[in-house]
Amino acid sequence: MKQVNLGIIGGGTVGSGVYHAWRQNGALMASRLGMRVHLAQIAVKAFDEPRPYPIPESLLTTDWRSMVRRPDIDIVAELAGGTTVARDMVLEALRLGKPVVTANKALLSAHGEELFEAAGQSRANLYYEASVAGGIPIIKAIREGFVGNRITHLFGIVNGTCNYILTRMKQERAGFEAVLAEAHRLGYAEADPSLDVDGHDSLHKIGILASLAHGFWVRPETVHVEGIRGLSQADIQFAERLGYTIKLLGIIKAASPAGRAGRAARGSRIQVSVYPALIPSSHVLASVHHVFNAIFVRGDIVGDTLFYGRGAGKDATASAVLSDVADAALDLKFGTPCRVPPFVPHERAGAVIPIAQAVSRYYLRLTVLDQPGVLAQIAAILGRARISIASVIQPEGHAGDVVPLILMTHEAPNAPLAHALDRIQRLAVNRAPPVMIRVESFD
């Protein structure tokens, strides 16, 4: 039986998880592939660093360059993390014509365009299924399964830490800080949780998906990002009363109708954003709880599809890494650089629209004086901005001079809404900064 040799850079949580999974199911992979994947060596920072799964010292080296340059290493898996040395690792392997598997979303977000160009020049594939949504095969689905579709909408719950926090806040009426502390105790949140709760982890992932789906490289600085740190228990409860659930979504939407007769393939304009949103509690994404991820994809031919599963962790990520290793092994077996290229820029005039131009419905929570004429003042400001009010709620049981006022609007661009809120905040009857959360109804 033919054999290919795999070298792994990184022996921490993910690297040791891949080793453990390979030991467990390597023979099964061989029977399915008709060839063996032999794990030849693992490059690590130190032999004695803590690992979830032990790795025999005979497999370890601290010299990643020597391992990558070994003539018998056929495939390199970069599982070290980071965006500096990891970039050198991937480029070195590609320069030698060796296919690379990576789980490094931050690296692809920062240097993806350069890495895919290097892969194209060397005719060595770059596989990255594990970089987005852990064990959910979303990269392969978009790259191969939906190759005959234009992706018109994609909504993703792609950060398990945030989804865990929002689930607990809704189900237990707990506050953000208390749930964050519990998430840290359980290992769902890092000591510094800002990468997760401020939306940057979701930014890395949604940028990769947007680039793949729309055929031009989406730079991180063009993506609007809001996290969940400012969400209050009051907004979660008001949303529930209105029939909605709040989720942190990564959002990719065509800014104009796709698939129209005569529409050119070039020049697509898309919204790429990360922000908390109200979604109908009846929608399937609203039932995605705790650390699970889910990605809703709408294609112009296939229609609506949903991908659900564990989006992080050593085992889910290891599953995705081994899937990519299997693809790389088969490509080598049959002498093909790749079947479907990892990323093909085909919409060179495509662009991400500024958030100011994005159109949405809105949930607004205002804190105002409880006196006649207040709603009329607010409605007048919104009316001058051409923002239509869909419904108004002034909850009972809030005795005193200051009360909450909840408004739901019809669709409007973000820029006039932001201007209107600035004017509302300066009203004498206003007593706190207005709260605005966008509403996504998946129409």
Helix/strand/coil (H/E/C) assignment for every residue in the chain: CEEEEEEEECCCHHHHHHHHHHHHHHHHHHHHHCEEEEEEEEECCCCCCCCCCCCCHHHEECCHHHHHHCCCCCEEEECCCCCCHHHHHHHHHHHCCCCEEECCHHHHHHHHHHHHHHHHHHCCCEECHHHCCCCCCHHHHHHHHCCCCCEEEEEEECCHHHHHHHHHHHHHCCCHHHHHHHHHHCCCCCCCCHHHHCCHHHHHHHHHHHHHHHCCCCCHHHCEECCCCCCCHHHHHHHHHCCEEEEEEEEEEECCCCCCCCCCCCCCEEEEEEEEEEEECCCHHHHCCCCEEEEEEEECCCEEEEEEEECCCHHHHHHHHHHHHHHHHHHHHCCCCCCCCCCCCCCCCCEECCHHHCEEEEEEEEEEECCCCHHHHHHHHHHHCCCCEEEEECCCCCCCCEEEEEEEECCEEHHHHHHHHHHHHCCCCECCCCEEEEECCCC
Give me the residue label for tokens 């209050």.
232
**Residue 60: CATH number of its domain:** 3.40.50.720
d(CA 307, CA 209): 13
pLDDT at 401: 87
d(CA 91, CA 95): 6
pLDDT at 399: 63
Residue 344 resides in a domain: no
Q: Provide the token pair at 150.
A: 């234009």
Nearest to 101 by CA among 75, 82, 136, 127: 127
Residue 341 resides in a domain: no
Residues 152, 291: one domain?
yes
Residues 287, 411: one domain?
no
d(CA 315, CA 137): 14
Residues 17, 129: one domain?
yes
Adjacency order of strands within the sheet including 126-127: 60-61, 35-43, 2-9, 75-78, 100-102, 126-127
Other CB atoms within 10 Å distance of the CB of residue 266: 12
- In angstroms, the Cα distances linking 245 to 30, 278, 289, 382, 435 are 45, 5, 11, 25, 16
How many domains, the chain? Answer: 3
Q: Which one from 205, 247, 253, 314 is the annotated catalytic residue?
A: 205
Taking only the tens of pLDDT, the chain with its 443 residues reads 899 999 999 999 999 999 999 999 999 999 999 999 999 999 999 999 999 999 999 999 999 999 999 999 999 999 999 999 999 999 999 999 999 999 999 999 999 999 999 998 998 999 999 999 999 999 999 999 999 999 999 999 999 999 999 999 999 999 999 999 998 888 888 888 999 999 999 999 999 999 999 999 999 999 999 999 999 999 999 999 999 999 999 999 998 554 443 344 456 899 999 999 999 999 999 999 999 999 999 999 999 999 999 988 899 999 999 999 999 999 999 988 767 777 877 777 789 999 999 999 999 999 999 999 999 999 999 999 999 999 999 887 666 789 999 999 999 999 999 999 999 999 999 999 999 999 998 98
Identity of the residue numbered 237 = Q
Residue 350 resides in a domain: no
Residue 298 resides in a domain: yes
Residue pair 21/8 in contact (Cβ under 8 Å)? The answer is no
**Residue 400: CATH number of its domain:** 3.30.70.260
Residues 64, 174: one domain?
no
Residue 345 resides in a domain: no
Rounded to a whole number of angstroms, the distance between the first and last alpha carbons of the chain is: 52
pLDDT at 398: 64
d(CA 131, CA 107): 9
Q: Active site includes 247?
A: no
**Residue 195: CATH number of its domain:** 3.30.360.10
d(CA 344, CA 217): 9
Nearest to 203 by CA among 273, 151, 133, 144: 273
Nearest to 77 by CA among 120, 23, 131: 131
Nearest to 359 by CA among 443, 262, 243, 234: 443
d(CA 210, CA 273): 10
Residues 383, 301: one domain?
no
pLDDT at 255: 86
Per the structure, the complete domain to which residue 326 belongs is given by 2-135+314-333
Residue 338 resides in a domain: no
Other CB atoms within 10 Å distance of the CB of residue 282: 10
Residue pair 135/317 in contact (Cβ under 8 Å)? The answer is yes
Residues 294, 393: one domain?
no
Residues 295, 362: one domain?
no
Residue 326 resides in a domain: yes
Residue 219 resides in a domain: yes
Residues 202, 256: one domain?
yes
Residues 119, 13: one domain?
yes
Residues 153, 105: one domain?
no
Residues 259, 155: one domain?
yes
Q: Provide the token pair at 310.
A: 């564990």
d(CA 42, CA 348): 39
The residues with which 404 forms a beta bridge, in sequence order, are 367
Q: At what angle do helices 13-33 and 314-333 cross, to 10 degrees?
A: 40
Residues 235, 130: one domain?
no
